[in-house]
Amino acid sequence: MTVSFRNIFFFLILLIIILAGCETLTTSKPIIPIREYEKMIVGRLDAQYVGTHNCLFACHYHDKIKNNFEASTMGVQLTRKACLPLVNCESCHGPGSLAIEGITPEKVEQDAKEGKQTACNYGTFIDIKNIPPQAQSLICLKCHTANATFNLHNWNTGAHAVNDVSCIDCHNICKAFKKGSPDLTVRPRDTSEMCYKCHQEIMAEFSLPSRHPVPEKRIFCTDCHDPHGTTNDKLLRKTTVKELCSYCHAEKEGPFAFEHADLTEDCRTCHSPHGSVNNNLLLLREPLLCLQCHSGHLTSSSSTLEAKGAFYTRCTDCHSQIHGTDIPSASGRGRFTQ
């Protein structure tokens, strides 16, 4: 049996392709049982919890973080007299005794004299930035269980959790404190900037001439989407697109005596949700939009129609009730003309 050089060549190519496939299989994300994530967020077992006061009393480097933290809803739990001390630095960073070992006011003073900044042994804390996103989120989910924070019910199945986005990708816990903002929640008016960090293509859609007034801050991404996850497609807040749109555009909801077939069941038949080059967020301009499904026509009742073959450019000049109407047209049919 002779094997030609060409066959070997093709065999090699095939082998390379198969091996390349295996490579992506082995490097794809392993499925880790939740207890493995739990281990990652325990912190060093040989460290003790020492409390925020002990963490911070000698060295005032983190005072700003502390002040801002205490001013936040989460931090208030720590400081408010009537409340249990629910959240402190170690709730997220893990036990701190090893980190502050040997740090005394005297050492801090001495370091300062030598022009040095006293640093705690940060390596003994949980390595928050480098643990997998699921573990990062688990730090928060210890307390923010679905029962405590109701809108996190669908977190685990949401597109964000599934695609390795963690709580701290959106909630800049300590960075926000550093910037001097005690505001942990994302204010609605700041959400779009937050979302654009990762969804650049959506930013482009919202700079088109016709758009929902998100850049004008009259409505927000979170009016339509729940970033924490929903059981609906595209993280939408409502089960169907029609239900979502009708929440604000109730007059388009119907039912009408004369419906535009079942087209309005999905507003996306004609509209784009974010932005469009055409007015009224239309996917296509008129008359092209309508001519996808209809042919143009002439009417005797129209004075603009002297010349045979005159072409309408805006069908909705006459068919103005395009979403449906209860009033019949002149011929008693439903042609959305009034």
Contacts to ligand HEC from residues 60-99, by CB under 6 A: 62, 65-66, 69, 72-74, 77, 86-87, 89, 91-93
Q: Which of 9, 292, 310, 338 binds ligand HEC (CB under 6 A)?
A: 292
Smallest gap from residue 180 Cβ to ligand HEC (A): 13
Q: Which of 48, 145, 231, 302 binds ligand HEC (CB under 6 A)?
A: 302
Stretch near ligand HEC under the rule CB under 6 A, chosen from 2-10, 14-22, 35-43, 275-283 = 275-283
Q: Is 232 in the site for ligand HEC (CB under 6 A)?
A: no
Cα atoms found within 13 Å of the Cα of residue 18, Cβ hemisphere only: 6
Smallest gap from residue 13 Cβ to ligand HEC (A): 33
Contacts of 71 by beta carbon, 8 Å cutoff, 6+ apart: 182
Q: Is 112 in the site for ligand HEC (CB under 6 A)?
A: no
Instruction: Give strand pairing partners of 276.
Output: 210
Instruction: Give strand pairing partners of 275.
Output: 211
CA distances from 4 to 7, 66, 144 (A): 5, 74, 65
Binding residues for ligand HEC, how many (CB under 6 A)?
126
Q: Is 248 in the site for ligand HEC (CB under 6 A)?
A: yes
126/56 Cα distance (integer angstroms): 17
Residue 104 or 338 having the CB closest to ligand HEC: 338
Q: Is 59 in the site for ligand HEC (CB under 6 A)?
A: no
Instruction: Give strand pairing partners of 210.
Output: 276
Stretch near ligand HEC under the rule CB under 6 A, chosen from 26-34, 95-103, 111-119, 140-148 = 140-148
Q: Which of 95, 230, 323, 325 binds ligand HEC (CB under 6 A)?
A: 323
Q: Which of 173, 208, 240, 285 binds ligand HEC (CB under 6 A)?
A: 173
Q: Is 252 in the site for ligand HEC (CB under 6 A)?
A: yes
256 neighbors 244 (Cβ within 8 angstroms): no
Smallest gap from residue 286 Cβ to ligand HEC (A): 6
Q: Is 51 in the site for ligand HEC (CB under 6 A)?
A: no
Q: Is 329 in the site for ligand HEC (CB under 6 A)?
A: yes
123/132 Cα distance (integer angstroms): 17
DSSP states along 206-237: TTSSEE-STTTTSS-HHHHB-TT--SSGGGBS
CA distances from 241 to 158, 160, 220, 249 (A): 18, 20, 16, 12
Instruction: Give strand pairing partners of 236.
Output: 225
Smallest gap from residue 26 Cβ to ligand HEC (A): 22
